[in-house]
Structure 1
Amino acid sequence: MMKMKELYDLNHTMARKFLEQFEYPWQALDGIGQMILDLASNLDDEYEQIADQVWIHKSTQIAKTANLNGPCIIGAKTEVRPGAFIRGNALVGENCVVGNSTELKNVILFDHVQVPHYNYVGDSILGHYAHMGAGSITSNVKSDKSLVVINDRSHRIKIETGRKKVGAMLGNHVEVGCNSVLNPGTVIGCETSIYPLSCVRGVIPEKSIFKSQDDIVIRKDSK
């Protein structure tokens, strides 16, 4: 469950045409900034440019103490709370929450994504209705600075990304518990829940509950 079409409903992001060309989501990370600039050239009158390479929908709520850097587009009815720091290369969808002291960098957030409290999200793609609990972060660089490898232990598959920086790929409706760390190259399948205080790495199956790296169970309500 690592492919773009398996993780995401592309009907819920402005990046649909851009993302459709990639088999795996991390392949899109290099082009996010240019993709945002291309989208900006065709935005309708409901968007306004508030700073250099920063466009927001007129219904978006931006706190006075939020810091927004481009390239960046923020969709309709999204809330950017006090102290939020968008470093650039960020496409934020509609009805999202970018919370207090949350930092975004080189990311795509689909519609209805919530990163509401003290989150760091870098070099990552978060699917429709993904939610990160307070204090949970994406770690995007390995401690030895080597290139990130996507590791699916259950299927004994390893994929070289060729990138030093890869955060987390969260499928639709993923729930990440508070104060969890998603290690570089983590991929979490749709409708999976991560226990609070977890240290997550590799590929986690869809419709599962992650209790620990060696205790992952399939949800009872999955079909």
Structure 2
Amino acid sequence: MAHYREVLGVILGGGRGTNMEPLTPYLDKPLIKLLGKPLIYYPTNNLVYLGLRTIYIISRDPAKVGNEVGRYFSNVSIENVGQRGDDIDSALKMIYEIAGRGTTIISFGDVILPREAYELALNSHVNSGKPVTVLMTPLSDLQGYFEVQVDDVVVINKVNEHKSGYAWTGILIAEREFLVSLHDFNGNINSTLMRFKGNVNVALWSGWFVDVSYPWDLLSAIKYLMSDLREARISKDADISSKAVIEGPVIVDEGARIDHGAIIRGPVYIGRNAYVGNNALIRNNTSLEEESVIGADAEITESLIGYRATVGRGSFIGSSVIGDESTIEPGVVTLNVLPSGVEVSHLSPVIVKGKQIAKLGAIVGPKARVGANSVIYPGSIIEHNRYIPPLSVLK
């Protein structure tokens, strides 16, 4: 996409991700893998799609993030910068220092949107002629999100109660004068927006949007990222039994092995060198990350199975996130329908047979182990490295 001005990109990936525990003891949130790619890949890819050739990524570990992102983008200048301080104000203050010479698209590294949202925001900004554009989206429940309030002054604040309104998508497009003021106000976005009272453009996005603040947001991200997949994409280097069944939109990466009698019912992602055993059933927006192992007769639905994680024979994993290198022994069952009245931030209920229910299975941290024939109640959190003995009932 061509523009009459220089356009730079800045991705904010320096948050500690404390709400993502127990998934982040060893790995920063931007590097959590989703459909085979780190979380921060998705906003970066959208900026590249817009035609940007210079992108800055602010993170706590620029060397590690740079090494990971560099695998996917060879024709773009990606500068990795270490964040000073832990809060969002610290990151916002830095932007003028590193990229304050043109139109700058600022994106949160943990928010996933389709590329059309970025196009809409940039086109709206260019057409408005104003020094800053805020992209917002309508939500029926803003609890846990940043709300955009539009009046004489545009204000962005975190919401802790149930209410409808407009959520900030994490995208801000700014000209140099706004970034100068943002720096002068030490990254305080509301003070800066106040200075530009009456001169702030607000763009409205009405499509899907995922703010990955909690582990279960990863499950929503899988659903939406695969929503445009219409056909199977199977690597020629995958080993798929002639007696396996693949239905619907499925991605199978190189080196993956799918054994006799397995059923893969898309949308499903099966990562590099992953293994699916005899008669296993993988279905409904599930992502099996690189080198994960699914035992014979296991069933996985609406779940994320992390890097080198193992799910044993005959287990049922539903609406769950299984951390990297964790082991679920044979016969484990995750219950995934929350009791009526239980509220979880960012978790939207679904309609099943005319009834509204909230679904959330287990969140299992990296390198944990759940013993054979255990039952895990809905919404259970298992810390990293924890061992659950066989025949346990975890409530």
- TM class by shorter-chain length? 0.7 to 0.9
CA distance in 2, matches of 1:160, 1:35: 17
CA contact (8 A) 1:107 1:121 kept: yes
Q: Is the 8 A contact 1:2 1:187 kept in 2?
A: no
Q: Which residue identity does 2:331 align to in structure 1? A: G
Structure 2: which 5+ runs fail to align? Answer: 1-16, 43-108, 112-211, 239-245, 350-357
Structure with greater helix share of residues: 2
Q: Which has the higher strand share?
A: 1
Aligned partner of 1:172 in structure 2 is 366
Say which structure, 1 or 2, has more relative contact order (CA 8 Å, 6+ apart).
Answer: 1
* Cα distance, 1:195 vs structure 2: 1.1
Partner of 1:34, secondary structure, is: helix
**How far does residue 24 in structure 1 lie from its aligned partner after superposition?**
1.3
* Structure-2 separation of matches of 1:129 and 1:181: 20
State how far apart, in whole Å, the 1-side matches of 2:341 and 2:236 are: 41
**Structure 2 counterpart of 1:92:** 288
Q: How many residues align?
A: 190
2:256 aligned partner, one-letter code:
T
Cα 1:13–1:40 change in 2 (3 A) is farther
Q: Which of residues 74, 80, 83 in structure 1 aligns to 2:270?
A: 74
Q: Is 1:4 the equivalent of 2:20?
A: yes
Aligned to 1:30: 220
Specify the SS of the correspondent of 1:33: helix
CA gap 1:166/1:14 in 2 versus in 1, 3 angstroms: closer
Report the Cα offset of residue 46 of structure 1. 6.6
**2:383 is the alignment partner of 1:189:** yes
Q: Is 1:20 matched up with 2:137?
A: no
Q: Which runs of 5+ in 1 are unaligned?
A: 151-158, 202-223
Give the superposition deviation at 1:148.
Answer: 4.0
Please give the per-residue CA displacement for 1:95-143, whole angstroms capped at 9, x wherever unaligned.
111111111111111110100211111111111111111111110014x
Q: Which amino acid aligns with 1:30?
A: S
Kept in 2, the 8 Å contact 1:148–1:166? The answer is no
1:62 counterpart residue number? 258
SS in 2 for 1:25: coil
The CA RMSD measured in Å over matched residues stands at 3.0
- Alignment partners' CA distance in 2, 1:45 and 1:101: 24
Contact 2:22-2:363 at 8 Å conserved across structures = no
Further displaced range: 187-196 or 29-38: 29-38
Larger radius of gyration: 2
TM-score of the superposed pair, with normalisation by structure 2: 0.43
- The percent identity for this pair of structures is 28
Q: Once the 2 structures are TM-superposed, how far is the Cα of residue 56 of structure 1 from its aligned partner?
A: 0.7
Correspondence for 2:310 among 108, 114, 126: 114
In the aligned structure 1, how far is the partner of 2:383 from the partner of 2:306?
15
Q: Which secondary structure does the structure 1 equivalent of 2:321 belong to?
A: strand
Q: CA deviation at 1:149?
A: 4.8
2:298 corresponds in structure 1 to 102
Shift in alpha-carbon separation, 1:59–1:105, aligned structure 2, 3 A:
same
Alpha-carbon spacing, 1:147–1:101, altered in 2? closer, same or farther (3 Å): farther
Are the aligned partners of 1:52 and 1:69 in contact in 2 as well (CA < 8 Å)? yes
Distance 1:31 1:47 in 2: 27
Contact 1:12/1:128, CA 8 A, preserved across alignment? no
Tell whether the 8 Å contact from 2:22 to 2:364 is kept in structure 1 after alignment.
no
Taking the aligned partners of 2:289 and 2:364, their CA distance within structure 1 comes to 15
TM-score, normalised with respect to structure 1: 0.73
Contact 1:148 1:162 in 2 (8 A): no
Q: Pairwise mapping of residues 200-211 of structure 1 onto structure 2 (< 5 A)?
A: 200-201=394-395
DSSP-derived class of the 1:166 partner = coil
Structure 1 residues 30-76: Cα deviation after superposition (integer angstroms, max 9, x where no partner):
342222356999x896787x652111123111013000011111011
